[in-house]
């Protein structure tokens, strides 16, 4: 447990030392929130769907958690390139503890980023339905962050070339976001698109946060949370296995 705590703290320090990284990680989600929220808000309202900011905020929070989590997990690639990973792996600590510590650290950073976006969304006019809803939403945010950081760790454990990160960005991370229902309602989609969103883990994170914050959920909170818990177990196991196979 001590090793997990030390690695968790190390991940937090690495992030907080870079103010530009903190600002940079929040800029893109906030641009989406304000540009899309106010740009498409009137169209969304005329279509009878209500306040678009109220709908969109949960998706943008999930977006912030997604990018920060996966980037934190894939820091393994850069650590391997510069030799930092070797220093960690030769320590008298099990690789499972190392992986869990890194994952929890990256997930904590992602939750902080999500909370920053949540707070700023209040300025845009977003209003959660209740305090309990906010608490449940933060719990879902934590589950999402752990899941995605573990997924990033699994990917980073298999990739050795930093240039492969751009491919992951274009062919995995962005489709996960755009096909999660973060920007559009899930009801009434064509069958093919509905199937894709249903197998996307981020869909349940977005839907869960939206259900908690606004009281409107497509799948229902129990199903959203249940899917996230199952996916957490699977990806933590996968990430731990692949991380244990890294050769130094």
pLDDT tens, position by position, 52-79:
888 889 999 998 898 888 887 777 777 7
Query: Which pLDDT band holds residue 12 (cuts at 50, 70, 90)?
Result: low
pLDDT tens string 133-167: 999 999 999 999 999 999 888 887 777 766 666 67
pTM for the full predicted model? 0.88
The DSSP secondary-structure symbol of 47 reads T
CA dist., res. 93 & res. 166, Å (int): 32
How many angstroms separate the CA atoms of 69 and 95, rounded? 20
| 216-233 pLDDT tens trace | 899 999 999 999 999 999
Res 8: pLDDT = 57
Instruction: Answer whether 99's CB lies under 8 Å from 238's CB.
Output: no
Integer CA distances (angstroms), 147 to 225, 231, 237, in order? 12, 7, 11
- Give the burial string for 12-33 (b: 16+ CB within 10 Å, else e): bebbeeeeeebeebbeebbebb
State the pLDDT at residue 231. Answer: 94
Return the closest-CA partner of residue 236 out of 62, 94, 81, 101: 101
Q: Find the range with the poorest average confidence among 64-78, 82-96, 191-205.
A: 82-96
């Amino acid at each position: 447990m001590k090793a997990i705590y030390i690695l968790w703290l190390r991940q937090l320090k690495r992030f907080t030392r870079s103010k530009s990284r903190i600002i940079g990680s929040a800029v893109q989600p906030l641009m989406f929130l304000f540009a899309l929220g106010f740009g498409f808000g009137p169209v969304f309202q005329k279509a009878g769907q209500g306040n678009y900011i109220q709908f969109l905020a949960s998706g943008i929070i999930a977006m912030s958690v997604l990018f920060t989590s996966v980037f934190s997990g894939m820091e393994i690639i850069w650590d391997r390139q510069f030799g930092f990973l070797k220093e960690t792996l030769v320590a008298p600590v099990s690789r499972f503890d190392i992986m869990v510590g890194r994952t929890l650290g990256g997930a904590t950073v992602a939750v902080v980023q999500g909370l920053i976006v949540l707070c700023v969304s209040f300025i845009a006019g977003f209003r959660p339905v209740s305090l309990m809803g906010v608490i449940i939403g933060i719990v879902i945010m934590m589950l999402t962050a752990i899941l995605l950081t573990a997924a990033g760790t699994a990917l980073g454990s298999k990739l050795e070339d930093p240039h492969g990160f751009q491919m992951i960005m274009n062919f995995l991370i962005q489709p996960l976001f755009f096909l999660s229902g973060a920007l559009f309602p899930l009801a009434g989609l064509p069958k093919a698109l509905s199937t894709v969103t249903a197998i996307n883990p981020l869909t349940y994170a977005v839907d869960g946060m939206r259900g908690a914050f606004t009281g409107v959920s497509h799948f229902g909170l129990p199903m959203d949370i249940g899917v996230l818990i199952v996916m957490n177990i699977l990806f933590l196991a996968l990430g731990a296995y692949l991380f244990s196979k890294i050769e130094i």
